[in-house]
């Protein structure tokens, strides 16, 4: 059976959840998928770095409280994250990038991805920043080095929006996409409809773990703006920058507005959309829209997300599911490795070149 050796860059909620999946159901996954998964390196801003080319024992790491994890002192461990060295030098098949999203310039994740692809390693990521800002470049680097760049989790976590668009709509034209792509704002809009004021609704979303500690990107639409860029560029072949996507959040919606809309059969939703214009260019925006009850996105409530694809042959096709969550987002990374496996092949343990690399790294 083949195997993929993973280097996990960032060991916050998502990569930790991926490690849990591998640790808890690795054998079952191997039976089903026909390849094994092994973690050979982990780096983290706070915990440092840990490398074992024979496979890291994940159980003790997962037993520790996340805030208490420290790799210094462990065999192969260091207090220094050593990201560049780990990404470039440690023999791994796949670099799994799950550090924080930087919407300004995508760094440091963008550099992590460039280093990994240039070193001939596949990259999987849930990090919206580099995907929104530099997807085209990263795909080209991947292509040049014969590896894959996969990023399903950058939009709607594990709900397969990008792969649905890429693989399931052959032979038809997607003319536009519209989505509810932020669970926090959708949950908050529901609370406003019940008469709850915005600050209280935000606090409730934070208590439930939907909103970020700083919920600005959720409320003001910046999180959705990046997702719209990714969808417009991937699904409609656009090449949009952030400033091309008009962005307005939900902070001006009051409980009165929300309740008034409901009384008229409408529901306020934060809608991200990208639509092909007659001249072939793409109009992309994020804005609160009062949707009529019959609209496919009007019934999407709470933290649930959905994307409606408008097509020429099928009309509107809507995919709905979770848009966030540790395990849900980790599943996106697993689905990326499966996609890599479908395109390439898991490495063969007995390949001489790899054995040499492994000996070198141990030395």
Q: Applying CB under 6 A, which residues contact ligand HSE? A: 182-184, 210, 212, 218, 223, 323-324
Of 53 and 184, the one with the shorter C-beta distance to ligand HSE is 184
- Which residues does 360 contact at the CB level (< 8 Å), separation at least 6? none
Cβ pair 226, 132 in contact under 8 A: yes
Residue with tokens 């997607």: 174
Alpha carbon distance 276, 231 (integer Å): 12
Alpha carbon distance 332, 312 (integer Å): 28
Of 49 and 125, the one with the shorter C-beta distance to ligand HSE is 125
Residue with tokens 């963008």: 110
Of 5 and 193, the one with the shorter C-beta distance to ligand HSE is 193
Cβ pair 329, 14 in contact under 8 A: yes
Smallest distance, ligand HSE to C-beta of residue 209, A: 9
Alpha carbon distance 271, 248 (integer Å): 10
Question: Which tokens belong to 16?
Answer: 């930790």
Smallest distance, ligand HSE to C-beta of residue 361, A: 35
170 burial level (CB within 10 Å; 0-12, 13-18, 19+): exposed
Of 58 and 330, the one with the shorter C-beta distance to ligand HSE is 330
Of 296 and 322, the one with the shorter C-beta distance to ligand HSE is 322
Alpha carbon distance 231, 218 (integer Å): 18
139 is catalytic: no
Candidates 217, 188, 190; CA nearest to 203 is: 188
Handedness of CA 296, 153, 321, 250 (dihedral sign): negative
Cβ pair 42, 15 in contact under 8 A: yes
Smallest distance, ligand HSE to C-beta of residue 101, A: 8
Smallest distance, ligand HSE to C-beta of residue 36, A: 30
Of 266 and 304, the one with the shorter C-beta distance to ligand HSE is 304
Catalytic residue among 121, 128, 227, 269: 227
- Residue whose Cβ sits closest to ligand HSE: 184
The 10 Å Cβ neighbour count of residue 354 is: 16
**Which residues have a catalytic role annotated?**
227
């Amino acid at each position: 059976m083949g195997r993929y050796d993973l280097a996990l860059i960032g060991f916050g909620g998502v990569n930790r959840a991926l490690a849990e999946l591998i640790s808890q159901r690795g054998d079952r996954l191997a039976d089903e998928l026909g390849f094994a998964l092994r973690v050979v390196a982990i780096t983290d801003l706070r915990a440092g770095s840990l490398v074992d080319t024979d496979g890291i024992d994940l159980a003790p790491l997962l037993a520790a409280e996340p805030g208490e994890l420290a790799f210094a002192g462990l065999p192969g461990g260091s207090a220094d994250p050593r990201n560049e060295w780990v990404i470039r030098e440690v023999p791994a098949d796949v670099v799994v990038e799950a550090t924080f999203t930087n919407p300004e310039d995508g760094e440091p994740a963008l550099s992590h991805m460039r280093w990994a692809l240039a070193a001939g390693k596949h990259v999987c990521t849930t990090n919206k920043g580099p995907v929104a800002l530099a997807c085209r470049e990263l795909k080209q680097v991947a292509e040049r080095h014969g590896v894959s760049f996969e990023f399903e989790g950058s939009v709607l976590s594990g709900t397969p929006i990008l792969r649905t668009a890429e693989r399931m709509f052959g032979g038809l034209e997607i003319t536009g996409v519209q989505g509810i792509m932020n669970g926090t704002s959708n949950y908050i809009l529901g609370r406003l409809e019940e008469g709850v004021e915005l600050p209280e609704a935000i606090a409730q979303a934070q208590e439930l773990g939907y909103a970020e500690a700083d919920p600005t990107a959720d409320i003001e639409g910046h999180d959705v703006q990046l997702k719209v860029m990714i969808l417009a560029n991937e699904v409609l072949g656009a090449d949009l920058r952030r400033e091309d996507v008009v962005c307005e959040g939900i902070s001006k919606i009051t409980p009165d507005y929300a309740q008034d809309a409901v009384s008229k059969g409408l529901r306020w939703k934060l809608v991200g959309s990208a639509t092909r214009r007659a001249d072939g260019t793409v109009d992309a925006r994020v804005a609160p829209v009062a949707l009529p009850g019959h609209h496919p996105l009007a019934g999407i409530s709470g933290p649930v997300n959905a994307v409606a694809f408008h097509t020429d042959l099928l009309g509107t096709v809507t995919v709905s599911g979770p848009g966030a969550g540790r395990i849900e987002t980790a599943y996106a990374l697993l689905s990326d490795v499966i996609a890599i496996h479908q395109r390439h092949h898991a490495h063969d343990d007995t390949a001489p070149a790899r054995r040499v690399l492994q000996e070198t790294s141990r030395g």
